[in-house]
Amino acid sequence: MTLPTAAGLPFKHSHFPEIEAADGAVAWYEVHAENYMGAGGPPHRMLEALRALRPLSLHGVGLSIGGEGPLDRDHLQRLKGLVARYSPASFSEHLAWSSHDDIYFNDLLPLPYNAETLATVADHIDETQEAVGVRMLLENPSSYTELAGSSMDEIGFLTAIAERTGCGLLLDINNVYISANNQGFEPATYLDGFPLHLVGEIHLAGHATETEADGGRLLIDSHDRQVDAAVWSLFKQVIAKTGPLPTLVEWDNDVPDFDVLLDEAAIADRALSAAAAVTAAAE
């Protein structure tokens, strides 16, 4: 099974009654894998009911694929268990690290891009795909600063990873926009160079804007508001080339009423329909 090439929403437990009452409401839902690693209870009860209504995307946030240390084998087995139980249409994780030694930071942290980290990340993805038993999508990170030790650019790194491991890519356009602002490059140029044929899913989200001491603009990957107009615009440019792709509108903090998320999904669906019409006309 693959995800529908339509808008999806993050599954928030507080929205479950409305989702159920609306018989699913949108095409698909994404869940963070680690929220379903308890033994039982309402999270699993609700996810089972949701799974009966709509396809799921299982999105891991804690595997630390970009870390230099070995992957947590127990965690891989837990992911495998969730895939077996819920048969998600997609499984994805991040190009980031979140654990070091035995500490888990609960955040997606940056790594430099070089031959050494490329080899480590590729090994981690091979191990993940082998253990979990599905092809995964790897998501580009958001970034606040450059790290010493990089000798490759992000696109070259992601492309090489995908070629070595056979994984697909999850393109987070909000992350591109944030990194571009914070590191001083053009997001459209980055997207022009992105291997779009490898993209299996798109993420969109809202970000916060801060003014720094020097008057510069810093963007924070806050997932707490509507998608920015500039990110919608980049999204439309991408899907004009790719045609419609499964597109998640993320919202993880200050989660609003379900209606607000439905409105965001509707904007994405309109853009996806327009892209489908254009792609069809071109063929």
Partner 1 sequence: MTRDGEAALAGALLAPETPAPAAVADAHRFNVYRNNVVVGLIDAVAATYPAVLALVGEPFFRAAARAFVLENPPRSPIMIDYGDAFPDWIAAFPPAAGVPYLGDVARLEWAWTRAYNAAEAPPLDIAHLVEIPPDELALARVTLHPSLHLLLSRFPIASLWAEATGRSAATHLDLSQSEAVLIARPDAAVDVRAITPALSAFLQTLSAGGTIADAAAATGDDQARVADCLTSLFELRIAVSLLPEPVADQRSAP
Of the residues 1, 130, 145, 211, which one makes contact with partner 1 according to CB under 8 A: 145
Q: Which is nearer to partner 1, 118 or 230 (CB)?
A: 118
Total residues in contact with partner 1, by rule CB under 8 A: 49
Q: Does residue 104 belong to the site contacting partner 1 (CB under 8 A)?
A: yes
Q: Does residue 128 belong to the site contacting partner 1 (CB under 8 A)?
A: no
CA pair distance 128, 134, nearest whole angstrom: 8
DSSP characters for 214-280? TS-EEEE----SPPPHHHHHHHHHHHHHH----EEE---SS---HHHHHHHHHHHHHHHHHHHHHHH
Q: Which is nearer to partner 1, 99 or 226 (CB)?
A: 99
CA pair distance 240, 192, nearest whole angstrom: 12
Q: Does residue 39 belong to the site contacting partner 1 (CB under 8 A)?
A: yes
Q: Does residue 98 belong to the site contacting partner 1 (CB under 8 A)?
A: yes
* Nearest Cα to Cα of residue 229 among 270, 160, 177: 177
Q: Does residue 42 belong to the site contacting partner 1 (CB under 8 A)?
A: yes
CA pair distance 48, 270, nearest whole angstrom: 29
Number of other residues whose CB lies within 10 A of the CB of residue 73: 10
Q: Does residue 87 belong to the site contacting partner 1 (CB under 8 A)?
A: no
Q: Does residue 83 belong to the site contacting partner 1 (CB under 8 A)?
A: no
Of the residues 92, 117, 140, 165, which one makes contact with partner 1 according to CB under 8 A: 117
The structure tokens 């031959």 sit at 115
Q: For the CA atoms of 107, 224, 199, 276, what is the dihedral angle to 10 degrees?
A: 170
Write the interaction track for partner 1 spanning residues 214-253; mark x where CB under 8 A is met and - where it is not.
----x-x---------------------------------
CA pair distance 20, 32, nearest whole angstrom: 19
Q: Does residue 41 belong to the site contacting partner 1 (CB under 8 A)?
A: yes
Binding site for partner 1 (CB under 8 A): 34-35, 37-45, 61-64, 67-68, 72, 75, 78, 97-107, 109-112, 114, 116-117, 144-149, 182, 212-213, 218, 220
